[in-house]
Structure formats: structure tokens, C-alpha cells
């Protein structure tokens, strides 16, 4: 079934990969992005409309001019540390502006919404692996803002029959396997790109944030999930809503159900970059506030309900695709 999809935040890391997936799947794509953190150059398919979810008039005209079959929303602010320092920005952008988008959908009869949520809604885990029923007790404004929207979506489903799928990402990582897209954050805070920037020369030594966690090697364990696999889950979620298989407000975890420590990520990356004659410089640091020791998903619900099957579950593949992209960026910088 061909659909016309609005991808909000389609110039960002995950959104840009989503646009590619939808366009190659034969769908018509319109991207709405204010380019505050995304890049016009990353919108390689579809039509880019530069604008913000803050602008209700812009939203009204966009929805008036286009008959969208569904909306995917990637335009959230997503840095935990920044959210603690500037909560107003997080609640405004992630909650208030998302309400603008939802209200435009409701008033124009657009029924299907895929929402980028996060494992940060769980806070400090009380049990691992983490299933969707794990208590939601976010410990920072970023996680709280995403959880608020999930709650809103439950009420909008009941009152306005807005169908939604909220996807709680664990650690989004990797890059387009064809090398056409990848991660571009400024500033970069995520482990894998920082490790690879250290090798390519675009960054300094990578700091290991704490070696005294209660894990086998003392470093934090995360569930790294490939961006292309995340996008596949979004496509499946949209299809499930469009075909009537998913109704109401549903929520799924997206992870590989496998943990890798910071140390393990660096080891995998070191082996890879050495094959190209590069070396990662590593230094020890203290803990970063707010980092849980272990975050690993139980994503059996997404597998069962959506038929999601990650294709790039191996950490070595994730790092290899990210390294291919990092080398391209380093060549550009030149
Ligand atoms: N880390 C380092 N050094 C760095 C950067 C990160 O040691 O320079 C460590 C972190 O302490 C953490 C792991 O590498 O243990 C992964 O850190 P990231 O910053 O790459 O990712 P997070 O796990 O902090 O964040 C991810 C998502 C968030 C989400 C969070 C859930 O990016 O959106 O998981 O807790 F909120």
C-alpha cells in the first residue's frame, strides 16, 4: 500500500534513514524539519519543508495542503544532560510542540502516528532485561518528556481515535549500510561516534565514563540497535496501523536484547580501525551522572506483534557501518 507520510525531524540522524526507507518502499515523503539540529543535506529523498512544530499556522497549512496517511515524529530534543540543565526547552519542544502536531493531525483526520520514544522512560531499571511493563520512572526531563507524550497518546486514542505506536529505542547506532547517511550531531555525545572520531582524527581521546559499575568489566552495559533496524520497525508499525492490526496507543521496546559494555564497544572498534591503520586513544574518566549500569531490552513484543526482525544485530556490523560513515566525514573535512 503506497502512502503519503509526513516525517517530522527527517533531516536528523534517525529521521533521515527513515526517509530513505519510506522512499525506497514506494511511499511519498514530506519532511518537516527546522534544521536546528538536522541538516538539509541529509534529506536525500522526499520534499523538505523547513519549519517547526512550534508554528501552528505552518502546521495548519501543511496539513491543509497535503492529505497525509500517517505521521512519524523524530523531532524531539534527545540529550539527557542538556535536559537536566534546560528542562524548559525539553518540555516545550518534546511535549508542547508535539501537542501542536497531534492537534493538527486530529483536526485534519490523520489517524496514524509513530512516535520516537526512549528507554529513558524507565529510569533506573529494577529488572533487566527491560520489558514494556517495567515501571516508568524517568530520572531526567528528557525521559519524563517522552513519557508525558506517551500518556497523552493514550488519551488521544480514547478520545479522538488517534492510533499511535510509541517505539522506545535503546541505543540507536550504526549508519546506512550503503554509506549514504549516518550520524551527525553537533556536539556529539554518543559513545560509538566519539570512539570512531578518536580514530579518524576528528576527535580527541575517548573518555570511559566510570570503571566501577557492578558489571563484569566495570563499565556500563547498553543494548546497541542499528538505525536501519529501528527504521524497519517504524515502517512495520505504520503498516500495522494502516491495515488495522494495531489500534489505540501501543508501545514497543526496540533493542537487540544483548548488552555490550563500553569496554567491549571500544575493543570491537579498535580491532576494526586497526585493519585500516588507525588507532583509538582511550582515557579513563569518572562516572557521568544519570547513567544506569545496565540497560538491555526485552523486545519480544515488537518481534511478535510487528514481526520485527533486526538484520544488523551484531555489534561488529553496527560499528563497521558507523566507521564507514566516519571515514567519509573525515575525508570531507579533509
Ligand atoms: N560513554 C562513555 N564515554 C563517552 C560517551 C559515552 O563512556 O564519551 C558511555 C556512557 O556512559 C554510557 C555508554 O557509553 O554508558 C553509552 O552512552 P551514550 O551517550 O552513547 O548513550 P546513552 O546510553 O547515554 O543514551 C541512550 C540514548 C538516550 C537515552 C538513553 C537511555 O542516546 O536517548 O540511552 O538511558 F535516553
Nearest CA to ligand 1 atom 14: 191
Check whether residue 110 and residue 200 sit in a common domain. Answer: no
- Any ligand 1 atom below 6 A from CB of 208: yes
State the distance from the centre of ligand 1 to the C-alpha of 226, rounded, in angstroms: 15
Does residue 178 form part of some domain? no
Same domain? For 112 and 247 the reply is: yes
Domain tally, the chain: 2
Model confidence at 178: pLDDT above 90: yes
58 and 197 in a common domain? no
Model confidence at 333: pLDDT above 90: no
Output the CA 84–ligand 1 centroid distance in Å: 15
Which residue in the list 13, 90, 122, 142 is annotated as catalytic?
142
Q: What was the pLDDT predicted at 290?
A: 83
Q: What is the pLDDT of residue 2?
A: 94
CATH number at residue 266: 3.90.25.10
Instruction: Quote the pLDDT of residue 321.
Output: 98
Measured in degrees and rounded to the nearest 5, phi and psi for residue 5 equal -120, 135
Rounded to 10 degrees, the C-alpha dihedral 34/54/88/166 comes to -80
Is there a domain that residue 15 lies in? yes
pLDDT band, very low/low/confident/very high, at 298 (cuts 50, 70, 90)? very high
Better-predicted residue by pLDDT, 184 or 61: 61
Query: Is 185 part of a structural domain of the chain?
Result: no
pLDDT band at 334 (very low <50, low <70, confident <90, very high): confident
Q: Are residues 231 and 93 in the same domain?
A: yes
Confidence at residue 289, expressed as pLDDT on a 0 to 100 scale = 86
User: Is the pLDDT score of 316 beyond 80?
Assistant: yes
Structure confidence at residue 1 as a pLDDT band (50, 70, 90):
confident
Report the C-alpha gap between 19 and 25 in whole angstroms: 10
Range of the domain at 321: 191-222+257-298+312-333
Q: For 223-241, what is the mean pLDDT?
A: 98
Q: What is the mean pLDDT of the chain?
A: 97
CB 117 less than 6 A from any atom of ligand 1: no
Asked whether residue 180 is assigned to any structural domain, the reply reads no
Do both 125 and 157 map to the same domain?
A: yes
pTM here is 0.97
Task: Tell me the average pLDDT across 208-214.
Answer: 97
If asked whether residues 125 and 248 sit together in one domain, one would say yes
Alpha-carbon distance 63 to 49, whole Å?
12
8 A C-beta contact, residue 222 and residue 173: no
CATH number at residue 238: 3.40.50.720
Question: Is residue 303 one of the residues assigned to a domain?
Answer: no
Residues belonging to the chain: 334
Establish if 106 belongs to a structural domain.
yes
78 Cβ closer than 6 Å to some ligand 1 atom: yes
What is the rounded distance in angstroms from the CA atom of residue 21 to the CA atom of residue 232? Answer: 7
Assess whether 49 and 160 both reside in one domain.
yes
Q: Tens digits of per-residue pLDDT, 65-111?
A: 999 999 999 999 999 989 999 999 999 999 999 999 999 999 999 99
Does residue 184 form part of some domain?
no
Same domain, yes or no: 324 and 263: yes
Do residue 102 and residue 198 come from a single domain? no
Amino acid at each position: 500500500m503506497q502512502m503519503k507520510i509526513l516525517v517530522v525531524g527527517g533531516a536528523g540522524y534517525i529521521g533521515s534513514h527513515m526517509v530513505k526507507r519510506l522512499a525506497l518502499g514506494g511511499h511519498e515523503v514530506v519532511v518537516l524539519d527546522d534544521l536546528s539540529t538536522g541538516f538539509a543535506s541529509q534529506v536525500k529523498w522526499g520534499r523538505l519543508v523547513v519549519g517547526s512544530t512550534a508554528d501552528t499556522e505552518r502546521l495548519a497549512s501543511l496539513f491543509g495542503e497535503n492529505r497525509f496517511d500517517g505521521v512519524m515524529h523524530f523531532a524531539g530534543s534527545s540529550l539527557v544532560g542538556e535536559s537536566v540543565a534546560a528542562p524548559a526547552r525539553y518540555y516545550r519542544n518534546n511535549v508542547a510542540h508535539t501537542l501542536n502536531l497531534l492537534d493538527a493531525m486530529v483536526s485534519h483526520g490523520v489517524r496514524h502516528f509513530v512516535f520516537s520514544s526512549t528507554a529513558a522512560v524507565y529510569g533506573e531499571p529494577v529488572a533487566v532485561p527491560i520489558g514494556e511493563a517495567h515501571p516508568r520512572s524517568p530520572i531526567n526531563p528528557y525521559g519524563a518528556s517522552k513519557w508525558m507524550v506517551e500518556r497523552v497518546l493514550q488519551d488521544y486514542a480514547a478520545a479522538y481515535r488517534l492510533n499511535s505506536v510509541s517505539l522506545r529505542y535503546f541505543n540507536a547506532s550504526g549508519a546506512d549500510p550503503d554509506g549514504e547517511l549516518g550520524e551527525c550531531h553537533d556536539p556529539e555525545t554518543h559513545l560509538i561516534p566519539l570512539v570512531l572520531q578518536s580514530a579518524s582524527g576528528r576527535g580527541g581521546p575517548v573518555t570511559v565514563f566510570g570503571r566501577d559499575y557492578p558489571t563484569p568489566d566495570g563499565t556500563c552495559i547498553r543494548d546497541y540497535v542499528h538505525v536501519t533496524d529501528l527504521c524497519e520497525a517504524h515502517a512495520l508499525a505504520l503498516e500495522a496501523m494502516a491495515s488495522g492490526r494495531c489500534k489505540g496507543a501501543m508501545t514497543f521496546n526496540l533493542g537487540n536484547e544483548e548488552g555490550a559494555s563500553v569496554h567491549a564497544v571500544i575493543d570491537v572498534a579498535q580491532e576494526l580501525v586497526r585493519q585500516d591503520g588507525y588507532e583509538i586513544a582511550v582515557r579513563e574518566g569518572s562516572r557521568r551522572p544519570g547513567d544506569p549500569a545496565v540497560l538491555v531490552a526485552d523486545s519480544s513484543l515488537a518481534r511478535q506483534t510487528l514481526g520485527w526482525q533486526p538484520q544488523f544485530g551484531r555489534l561488529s556490523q553496527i560499528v563497521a557501518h558507523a566507521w564507514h560513515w566516519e571515514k567519509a566525514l573525515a575525508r570531507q573535512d579533509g
